[in-house]
């Protein structure tokens, strides 16, 4: 039997697609799955690629089928499943072998596992993979992390299977330890926010303007030919146009408005709070998913207060207003994500390659969009600067923030909820306000806790003349 150049454990949605991709690029791969019967099903559907796939039915056989030094990709859920797989593999592997966690892990876990790997003698990489099933099958965006020499050992395979942007592989090493998983986490935070911005705009089209799902799809389709061109806008057009085979109704009209989440958006927000890098558009998107899940509460709220009247008088908003508001909102959300990346790297000892992060997201991943090329260019000039201050984006913001204000204020007046668009507008207004209202916070803090404050006209710490009232 020919030994495999690489192995993969976890033949679910992503693992199966990634294995086929690896085989298609000419690498021999061994596969294993906890539920062993799934291995046969996978092989049966591999077609001619099955020639380069070695199916295995025990972990021992799997390890024995790999050429040394071994490289093993895990594509299983974050947390316990990864922990259990590493624990099961470790006794079967040697100090030259390599475990690669390619799922969506919490980067703190990855940092810990990378440190444990050094102590326990089985090298470990944590890499973020984006692109969903289609990306995994035909070319994902890959954000690598861990020991650089170990990345270099397998990068030829990861680059070969990755998406290509103008011929360049979208597979980049981000830094030691959990750097790759951290970048993937922020990617997902931006993904949450971009999706929420689209969903809110869909709400205006559907509830405010009375458009059918198919008409919404046409609008998204048109926007995908302009500055908003992106995978998420493209698929929003496609899901809007799809019909339910069972009822013939638009699919969107039969899908329950309760969104799931697996944790990456929440991890992004938690990290932003830890480092003090505000990401309010992403926070709003995570909160909106939580509220969407509270269906019973929303139902009770509607019974008690009545639904807000949502339809807009003709001509209140134009499609151009909505497109422009989305452009401004999208810039705020990406600017926040990149700001978080810039501020977090140093705290973990990483020199995150900011322009290369934008570049690796240009193809293959869920948030790929035309704007990322301009973001890469802006970050190449000044990697630490907030994107909204880069000339290209400052100009776009200047031209579109008026529409964002018009859309958000219209939403507020007409009961159309816009948590992410509103957060984008407030962020913009705060970030261009030299004299904010935090002087009031400082006075309050000093009053109740003697925390002190700075004065505008004198250096040093001061206390107020609050006295007793």
Ligand X SMILES: NC(=O)C1=CN([C@@H]2O[C@H](COP(=O)(O)OP(=O)(O)OC[C@H]3O[C@@H](n4cnc5c(N)ncnc54)[C@H](OP(=O)(O)O)[C@@H]3O)[C@@H](O)[C@H]2O)C=CC1
Ligand Y SMILES: O=C(CO)[C@H](O)[C@H](O)COP(=O)(O)O
Q: Which residues bind ligand X (CB under 6 A)?
A: 10-15, 33-35, 38, 75-78, 81, 84-85, 103-104, 129-130, 132, 262
262: annotated binding-site residue? yes
Q: Where do runs of H (alpha helix) occur along 348-390?
A: 354-360, 371-381
Q: Which is nearer to ligand X, 79 or 210 (CB)?
A: 79
Residue 400 lies near ligand Y (rule: CB under 6 A): no
Q: Is 432 in the site for ligand Y (CB under 6 A)?
A: no
Shortest Cβ 262–ligand X spacing (Å): 6
In the three-class reduction of DSSP (H, G, I as helix; E, B as strand; rest coil), residue 129 is classed as strand
Taking the C-alpha atoms of residue 112 and residue 417, their distance in angstroms, rounded to an integer, is 40
List all residues 6 or more positions away from 97 whose beta carbon is below 8 Å from its beta carbon: 68, 69, 70, 71, 72, 122, 123
132 binds ligand Y (CB under 6 A): yes
Q: Does residue 268 interact with ligand Y by CB under 6 A?
A: no
Between CA 170 and CA 162 the distance in angstroms is 6
CA 211 → CA 5, 103, 208, distances in Å? 53, 38, 8
Q: Residue 330 in contact with residue 371, Cβ under 8 Å?
A: yes
Verify binding: residue 366, ligand Y, rule CB under 6 A. Answer: yes
Q: Per CB under 6 A, does 262 bind ligand Y?
A: yes
- SS3 state of residue 285: helix
C-alpha–C-alpha distance, residues 44 and 442, integer Å: 67
- Asked if 261 touches ligand Y (CB under 6 A), the answer is yes
For residues 19 and 136, what is the distance between their CA atoms, to the nearest angstrom?
Answer: 9
**292 binding ligand Y? (CB under 6 A):** no
Token pair, residue 162, equals 């990755």
Active site residue 164: no
Site stretch for ligand Y (CB under 6 A), options 205-213, 259-267, 449-457, 460-468: 259-267
Q: Which CB, 66 or 284, lies closer to ligand Y?
A: 284
* Nearest-angstrom CA–CA distance, 35 and 11: 9
Q: Which is nearer to ligand Y, 31 or 193 (CB)?
A: 193
Residue 85 contacts which entry, ligand Y, ligand X, none (Cβ below 5-8 A, type-dependent): ligand X
Nearest to ligand Y of 63, 366 (CB atom)? 366
Residue 132 marked as a ligand binder: yes
Give 107 or 393: the residue with its C-beta nearer to ligand Y.
107
Among 147, 191, 271, 323, interactor with ligand Y by CB under 6 A: 191
In the complex, minimum distance from the CB of residue 58 to ligand X, in angstroms, rounded to a whole number: 13
Strand order, beta sheet including 141-145:
128-130, 141-145, 171-175
What does the block give as tokens for 76? 């299983």
Applying CB under 6 A, what is the total number of residues that bind ligand Y?
Answer: 11
What residues contact 328, with CB distance under 8 A and at least 6 apart? 396, 397, 400, 401, 403, 404, 424, 425, 428
Kindly identify the residues of this chain, within the stretch 205-244, that bind ligand Y according to CB under 6 A. Answer: none
Catalytic status, residue 184: yes
Q: Which one, 61 or 429, has the nearer CB to ligand X?
A: 61
CB of 367 to ligand Y, least distance (A): 8
Partner in contact with 191, chosen from ligand X, ligand Y, none, beta carbon below 5 to 8 Å by kind: ligand Y
Using the rule CB under 6 A, give the single segment among 137-145, 258-266, 267-275, 298-306 that binds ligand Y.
258-266
* Residue 321 in the binding site for ligand Y (CB under 6 A): no
Q: Which of 94, 101, 45 is nearest to 70 (CA)?
A: 94
CB-based burial label for 379 (10 Å; 0-12, 13-18, 19+): buried
Residue 172 contact, options ligand Y, ligand X, none, Cβ 5-8 Å cut-off depending on partner type: none
What tokens appear for 130 in the block?
A: 């984006």
**At 88, phi and psi to the nearest 5?**
-75, -35
For the beta carbon of residue 24, count every other beta carbon within 10 angstroms.
16
Cis peptide upstream of residue 304 (ω within 30 degrees of 0): no
Minimal distance in Å, beta carbon 129 to ligand X?
Answer: 5
Sole residue written with tokens 């916070």: 441
Annotated binding site: 10-15, 33-35, 76-78, 104, 130-132, 187-188, 192, 262, 289, 445, 451
The footprint of ligand Y (CB under 6 A) covers 104, 130, 132, 188, 191, 260-262, 264-265, 366
Annotated binding site for NADP(+): 10-15, 33-35, 76-78, 104
Which residues form the catalytic set? 184, 191
């Amino acid at each position: 039997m020919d030994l495999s150049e690489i192995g993969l454990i976890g033949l679910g949605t992503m693992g199966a697609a990634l294995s086929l991709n690896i085989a298609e690029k000419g690498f021999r791969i061994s596969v294993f799955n906890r539920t062993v019967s799934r291995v046969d099903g996978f092989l049966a559907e591999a077609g001619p690629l099955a020639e380069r796939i070695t199916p295995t039915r025990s972990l021992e056989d799997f390890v024995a089928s790999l050429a040394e030094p071994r490289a093993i990709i895990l594509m299983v859920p974050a947390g316990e499943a990864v922990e259990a797989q590493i624990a099961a593999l470790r006794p079967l592997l040697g100090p030259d072998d390599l475990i690669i966690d390619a799922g969506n892990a919490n980067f703190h876990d990855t940092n810990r596992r990378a440190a444990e790997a050094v102590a326990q003698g089985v090298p470990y990489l944590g890499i973020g993979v984006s692109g969903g099933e289609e990306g995994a099958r035909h070319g994902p965006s890959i954000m690598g992390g861990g020991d650089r020499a170990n990345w270099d050992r397998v990068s030829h395979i990861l680059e070969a299977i990755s998406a290509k942007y103008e011929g360049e592989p979208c597979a980049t090493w981000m830094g030691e330890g959990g750097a790759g998983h951290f970048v993937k986490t922020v990617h997902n935070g931006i993904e949450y926010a971009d999706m929420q911005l689209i969903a809110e705009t869909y709400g205006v089209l559907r509830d405010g303007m009375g458009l059918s799902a198919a008409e919404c799809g046409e609008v998204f389709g048109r926007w995908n030919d302009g500055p908003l061109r992106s995978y998420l806008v493209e698929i929003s057009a496609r899901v809007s146009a799809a019909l339910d085979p069972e009822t013939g109704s638009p699919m969107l009209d039969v899908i329950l408005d309760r969104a799931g989440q697996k944790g990456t958006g929440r991890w992004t927000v938690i990290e932003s709070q830890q480092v003090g890098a505000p990401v309010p558009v992403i926070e709003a998107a995570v909160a909106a998913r939580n509220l969407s899940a509270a269906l019973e509460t929303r139902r009770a709220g509607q019974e008690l207060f009545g639904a807000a009247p949502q339809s807009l008088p003709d001509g209140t908003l134009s499609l151009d207003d909505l497109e422009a508001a989305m452009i401004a909102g999208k810039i705020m959300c990406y600017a926040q994500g990149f700001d978080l990346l810039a501020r977090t790297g140093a705290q973990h000892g990483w020199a995150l390659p900011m322009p290369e992060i934008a570049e690796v997201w240009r193809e293959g991943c869920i948030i790929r969009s035309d704007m990322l090329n301009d973001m890469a260019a802006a970050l190449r000039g000044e990697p630490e600067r907030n994107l909204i201050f880069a000339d290209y984006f400052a100009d776009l913001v200047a031209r579109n923030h008026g529409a964002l204000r018009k859309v958000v204020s219209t939403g507020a007046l007409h009961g159309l909820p816009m948590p992410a668009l509103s957060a984008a507008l407030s962020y913009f207004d705060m970030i261009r306000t030299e004299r904010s209202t935090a002087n009031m916070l400082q006075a309050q803090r000093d009053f109740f806790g003697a925390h002190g404050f700075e004065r505008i006209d004198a250096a040093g710490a001061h206390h107020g003349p609050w006295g007793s009232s």
